[in-house]
Amino acid sequence: MGLPGSNSGAILSKIATNNQHGENSEYFEGWKAYDKDPFHLSHNPHGIIQMGLAENQLCLDLIKDWIKENPEASICTLEGVHQFSDIANFQDYHGLKKFREAIAHFMGKARGGRVTFDPERVVMSGGATGANETIMFCLADPGDVFLIPSPYYAAFDRDLRWRTGVEIIPVPCSSSNNFRLTVEAVGWAYKKAQESNKKVKGLILTNPSNPLGTMLDKDTLKDLVRFVTKKNIHLVVDEIYAATVFSGDNFVSVAEVVNDVDISEVNVDLIHIVYSLSKDMGLPGFRVGIVYSYNDSVVSCARKMSSFGLVSSQTQLMLASMLSDERFVENFLMENSKRLGIRHEVFTTGLKKADITCLTSSGGLFVWMDLRHLLRDRNSFESEIELWRIIIHKVKLNVSPGSSFHCTEPGWFRVCFANMDDDTLRVALRRIQDFVSKNNNNKIVEKATDKDQVIQNNNAKKQKWRQSNLRLSFRRLYEDGLSSPGIMSPHSPLLRA
């Protein structure tokens, strides 16, 4: 008799066992390597430094100070325990009214006060992961297609399509124009999808971009709003990095564009925003995700679905108080932008000392690092994965290869810089500088182990398949023989979302 669950695939659902989760991508594989050997400045100084986590830890001290100064905001203190019964009891899935009012106000503040949001259109979800899936369930049926500019967030393959059955068709962007998205590129992808008899239901944008850190300008956003209106498809804009802008022009929300475009050129029922406090405030553990739609039917549907992933009432209570504190919010947003700008400057300057450049960016918690000159073969994704494995296992840095973000050009890497203290950042920069200096011919010639070589060969086949399908047939990615999800580390991003 076998062990219990040894034949689990025969008794589990197709959703539970399908290959759409993407757990075996290099993005998640880097996390698993870090989990096995995490860096600590004193306890494990030779461990892997986590630079694959887009987390904002630069202003957590401000939040801690506010909590100390406002103990009545929590039901777990003597000052706030009198609210325990009301908050601990069942809450309607509309959420606490004062929370929805506070989050709507904060969304406006995070966008420079140039736009306002209606609290009655705020729908809660379990983080941006839940919000993105919820909006997919509302807008599309299994097999329907959403267009999305690539490179795009690696976990979108999980968030948008794993359980919904929605398909993704990338809109390829390239370094030739600094990965700038154009309405012409979207139109080309839309036409190709139609020629393949795909039903396009919408376009998804991340603004500011993950992984690029760039922002869409108002004219481009206007063109895209006009495009979706003309084609009668949805526009979903993920704006979870709205308040991480640290240089350049102001962030432009699609909400501003909706107000600016002539009413005859925009169908507001097609416009939807995803938001969260995970990035702007550095609170991913609070699981605060928001769906904001201009479509009454979508708001109603998403609200019913939100019962599967509500924000706890205790969290709502505290955040309602915090986000209603005007002085705190204004100071936090200003200081957050300032500290991110300083950290970005320190990090990119350190990379320049190693002759490494990055795509010019003005937002986000990461840089899009150009290591094409270090590839053994500049046109090979196999070389990219080879370099990535050396960076993880030899340099001991968990960075994310561009191929895991569906970049069509090998040699780009996303590197996060806001999830660590200054001392750890210095160690990371020193490791990078030492690594590059030891490879003064700018080519990685170190031979991989036999085991690594087998893995690299498998990944090379995978990347070749992805690139071919991206350019030719636009079939869904990550369907090339990935195994079913395995057991996940308790620290894995698969659980953290």
* Catalytic annotation, pick one of 159, 238, 280, 370: 238
Supply 261's token pair: 């475009």
110 vs 251: CA distance, rounded Å = 9
Beta bridge partners, 401, equal 413
Supply 176's token pair: 């030739």
For the question of residue 240 being annotated catalytic, the response is: yes
Can you say whether the dihedral through the CA atoms of 277, 280, 283, 285 is positive or negative? positive
* Catalytic annotation, pick one of 32, 201, 279, 396: 279
22, 163 in Cβ contact below 8 A? Answer: no
Residue type, 372: R
For the question of residue 217 being annotated catalytic, the response is: no
Phi-psi region of 495 (alpha: psi -120 to 50; beta: other; left: phi over 0): alpha
- Whose structure tokens read 């090379």? 460
- Whose structure tokens read 């804009």? 237
How is the chain split among helix, strand and coil, in percent rounded to 5?
Answer: 45, 15, 40
* Catalytic annotation, pick one of 153, 241, 294, 478: 153
The set of residues, in sequence order, having a beta carbon less than 8 Å from that of 190 and lying 6+ positions away, is 147, 200, 231
For the question of residue 153 being annotated catalytic, the response is: yes
* Phi, psi of 458, rounded to the nearest 5 degrees: -65, -40
Element (H, E) at 39: none
User: Within 10 A of 374 (CB to CB), how many other CB atoms are there?
Assistant: 23
Task: With H, G, I as helix, E, B as strand and everything else as coil, classify residue 413.
Answer: strand
Radius of gyration of the chain (CA): 23
The set of residues, in sequence order, having a beta carbon less than 8 Å from that of 8 and lying 6+ positions away, is none
356 vs 377: CA distance, rounded Å = 17
Q: Kind of pairing, strands 234-238 and 167-172?
A: unpaired
For the question of residue 325 being annotated catalytic, the response is: no
* Catalytic annotation, pick one of 49, 103, 168, 240: 240
| Closest residue by Cα to residue 158 from 127, 132, 137, 189 | 132
| DSSP assignment of 439-458 | TTTS---PPPPHHHHHHHHH
DSSP 411: T
Instruction: Provide the annotated active-site residues.
Output: 153, 238, 240, 279
